[in-house]
Structure 1
Amino acid sequence: MNQYFLLIACLQLWSSITPVSPATTWGPLAIIFIVSASKEAWDDYNRYLSDNKANERKVWVVNDGGIHIQIKAQDIHVGNIVWLHENDEIPCDLVLFGTSDPQGICYVETAALDGETDLKTRIIPSICASMPSEQLGKVKGLVECPNPDNDIRRFDANMRLFPPIIDNEKCPLTINNTLLQSCYLRYTEWACGVAVYTGIPRM
């Protein structure tokens, strides 16, 4: 519609073919452009504030010595072990490998991603089922996963845990083994996972 009015306004600059003053069209068109540009600028500013708030949020990670420390969400790197507590927002995409539940499950709210209000169940990979909780912060391993994409319902990957935890056994991973960014941990005292997609490669 704006393109139509722009074409009419340009034709009205040609005085030999139109008796109407160009101001009658250029005025409203300029107002439309100003309002649209102002709205987009306001949306961009609010998005910047939201992103900055999310990046500055404090999260718990486990360092190489097995000690829980707090860092900013923007400082999470691929391979970091992130420790979540009930009602925490998940700061990046994680592969779940430990929870407070004896069955190795946790519940997440995914409304921010898919609009669904029902809680989703997530479960630790089978390779982690027998791992004692005190060993979770000392896990060494490798997650082989595809490049990130927009499909939030599929995750085809593999996990290997190195000795002395597990003897390099490969375990397949699915979306049910993941905690996705912007979801919330619900009805679970704690859960932990390894960061796989953060936008920042591990150095």
Structure 2
Amino acid sequence: MNDSTRNENRNETRRRGVHLEAAIHAATWDELAAVGYSRLTMESVAARANTSKPVLYRRYSNKAELVLAAIQSRVPTPVEEIPNTGSLRGDIIAALDNMNRNVDRIGTDTIRGLMVEFGDRPLSGVLFPKGRTHHTIKTILGYAAARGELSLDRLTARMMSVPVDLVRHELFLENKAVSPETIREIVDDIFLPLLRTAGWSGQGGR
């Protein structure tokens, strides 16, 4: 074993587990910002993280898995901040805007690259994790029910999922962040009229 290998092994012994992973994920984000997804390589991330390619390959089989893990470590989940603006419309728009901002954080180049590797399913799970987005929308609707805007008794899980499902569809159809105008069309022209069939009063206005 040569001196450089011994030094590498000692360095990795000191940086184990979550500390090593955090350094790798931080290096991946920095490399994405510097060169973009298409030019990012396992070697370039290893160099930036001051580690080696074998260390990366022991954790991730390819760069797509590495980048996806880095995204999962950095992108906030919808449940971390649930809006409470005082109106159902305002809350839904704010929640969808928050989710949509994650797309800008990741970047369309990275999204396209990951979709080539995986399709939309893994990335969709990061940006719009089903259990967490359902919790966010259900909580918002609970706020509206407490204000007397609607009754939860007549809402189905399918109805609750409509706004997030439509934003997700737009995102992966266009491979870019959804425009504010499209988000408001989804809320005003589709979701809120749907809720009126379940007794939404429209209280709170626009």
Q: What TM-score results when the alignment is normalised by the length of structure 2?
A: 0.27
Which structure shows the higher helix fraction?
Answer: 2
Which structure shows the higher strand fraction?
Answer: 1
Q: What TM-score results when the alignment is normalised by the length of structure 1?
A: 0.27
